[in-house]
Amino acid sequence: MLIRRLKCLRYLGTRHNSSHYVTTPIFYVNAAPHIGHLYSAVIADAHCRYQRLRNPEKDVRLCTGTDEHGTKIQQAAALHGIPVPKYCDDISERYREVFRSASIQTEDFIRTTEERHKRAVAHFWRTLHGRGHIYSAAYSGWYCVSDETFLTDSQLRLDESTGSRYSLESGHPVEWTEETNYMFRLSQFQDDVRHWVKQKARIRPAKFEKILLDSLSEPLPDVSVSRPSNRVHWAIPVPDDDTQTVYVWLDALVNYLSSVGYPNEGYTANWPPAQQVIGKDILKFHGIYWPAFLLAAGLEPPGQLFVHSHWTVDGQKMSKSRHNVVDPFQAARQYTMEGLRYFLLREGVAHSDGNYSHVKAQRILNSELADTLGNLLSRACAKSLNPGQIYPSANAEHLADLLRSLDAAKRLQDSLLQLSERCASHYECNHFHLVADTAMAALHAANNFFESSKPWTLKAGAPDANPPRLETIIAMTMDALRLCGIVLQPIIPQLATRLLDKLSIPTAQRGWNHLAHSLATSPASLGGSRQLDGQTSALLFQRILEEKVVKEQDEKEQQKPQPAKRSKSKKKERRETMS
Chain residues in the site for ligand MSP (CB under 6 A): 25-28, 36-37, 39-40, 67, 252-253, 255, 278-279, 281-282, 310-311, 318
List 311's β-bridge partners, or say none.
354
Residue 255 or 362: the one with the smaller Cβ distance to ligand MSP is 255
- Sign of the Cα pseudo-torsion (466, 468, 469, 470, in order): positive
Residue 37 or 47: the one with the smaller Cβ distance to ligand MSP is 37
Cβ-closest position to ligand MSP: 279
CB of 350 to ligand MSP, least distance (A): 10
Residue 84 or 496: the one with the smaller Cβ distance to ligand MSP is 84
CB of 42 to ligand MSP, least distance (A): 10
Residue 176 DSSP one-character state: E
CB of 79 to ligand MSP, least distance (A): 17
List 135's β-bridge partners, or say none.
183
Is-contact 541 554, C-beta < 8 A? Answer: no
Residue 253 or 423: the one with the smaller Cβ distance to ligand MSP is 253
Rounded-to-integer distance, Cα 342 and Cα 349, Å: 13
Provide the CB-side half-sphere exposure for 284 (13 A, CA): 14
CA 188-209-254 angle, to 5 degrees, is: 55
Is-contact 168 140, C-beta < 8 A? Answer: no
CB of 251 to ligand MSP, least distance (A): 9
Give the CA distances from residue 61 to residues 276, 279, 366, in Å, rounded to whole numbers and listed in that order.
Answer: 12, 20, 33
DSSP helix/strand/coil, 310: coil
* 3-state per-residue secondary structure call for 42-82: HHHHHHHHHHHHHCCCCEEEEEEEEECCCHHHHHHHHHHCC
Residue 26 or 225: the one with the smaller Cβ distance to ligand MSP is 26
CB of 476 to ligand MSP, least distance (A): 40
CB of 525 to ligand MSP, least distance (A): 45
CA dihedral 381, 383, 384, 386 (to 10 degrees): 60
Q: Is 66 exposed, middle or buried (0-12, 13-18, 19+ CB in 10 A)?
A: buried
CB of 248 to ligand MSP, least distance (A): 8
Residue 37 or 574: the one with the smaller Cβ distance to ligand MSP is 37
Helix (H) or strand (E) holding 215: helix 206-215
CB of 546 to ligand MSP, least distance (A): 26
Residue 280 or 498: the one with the smaller Cβ distance to ligand MSP is 280
Residue 224 or 255: the one with the smaller Cβ distance to ligand MSP is 255
